[in-house]
A and B are shown apart, each in its own frame.
Chain A
Amino acid sequence: MSTDGDRIVMVEMPGIDPEKCNGCGLCVDVCRCHAVVMVGNRVTIINTKLCGWCALCEMVCPTDAIRCAYEIVVEERSGKK
């Protein structure tokens, strides 16, 4: 999925801003692929291709700490980085 030339890049995952996160755990509860987990009282995102970018974690986060951002590209250029 996210391979680029000879460098294997891990699957892109949603990002968490630990400064904004209040540890409420709502994101953990909604993620169907267990990509969002609580380690101690910190939310961590595990790299997994099972994450289909449903953005439920972002949607329920009350503090906007999670971002499921989209990269916008034009088709003919999408192979080039």
Chain B
Amino acid sequence: MAVQEELIKSIVYFSHLGPDELTSVQRFVFEKTVERGGIILFEGEPAEVLYFVISGVVKIYKTSTDGKEQILHLIRAGESFNDVPVFNGGANLATAEAMGPVVLYGIKKTALATILKDCPQVSLNILRVLSEKMTRLVMLVEDLSFRHVTGRVARILLEYTGDGGAQRPRLTQQEMAAMAGTVREVIGRALKSLEKDGSVRIERHRIIITDKQSLQETAGLAG
């Protein structure tokens, strides 16, 4: 499908542009479709293209040396990814994978200078996008580095343990994140770390507390 101006307008980078500016941006935009599970960018490779999601969802993640995956962002329609390395000339900071079929618009690094020169509004939009991303990343770093979240999750699990009665409140990872004052991406990691400690076992839709005392200790509660 040809690149459509209407869709370019839906991208945060290109909001509030006049018709002439949109036309000049459109010249540099190309479309790319990716199937579910397709890797769009590999961490560490030179960053050549700035991407925008038109439809579908893209997962941005880093993998540790022992193969653990940490999701940094889910990128949805209208949002961009790979901005930072494209602007600073570095390598891709993370891997990008299509969670389902995805349609992307891309702009080559080499075309960006022309776009920025022709459309000053884009620079302002970029500043906004990048500051939002930065704020979110700082929060993620805080939560990942200062292990408090695992303690908070332990506390939530203890609080929401079913007592054997029929109606137990059930929690999604999103709800646990909201309660722990963090983002969802951190919860999976906290649960895995509790599982590794031997405090819980996760069986499909069940979190089984296997060592209540150790969970209480992690939660900072007297055993």
Contact = CB atoms under 8 A, between A and B. Distances in A.
Interface of A: 1, 12, 26, 28-30, 52-53, 55-56, 58-60, 62, 64, 67-75, 77-78, 80-81
| Chain A interface SS verdict (over half) | mixed
B160 interface: yes
Sorted from nearest, which 3 A-B pairs have the closest CB atoms? A29-B100, A69-B170, A53-B204
Contact of A60 (B74, B161, B202, B207): B74
Interface of B: 36, 56-57, 74, 76, 99-101, 157, 160-162, 164, 166, 168, 170-175, 184, 201-202, 204-210, 212
Contact of A75 (B99, B100, B166, B208): B208
A71 B207 contact: yes
Given A29-B56, A69-B205, A80 B164 contact: yes
Given A12-B205, A58-B172, 15 more contacts: A28-B100, A30-B36, A52-B204, A58-B173, A67-B170, A69-B170, A70-B172, A71-B170, A71-B205, A72-B207, A73-B168, A73-B208, A74-B161, A81-B164, A81-B166
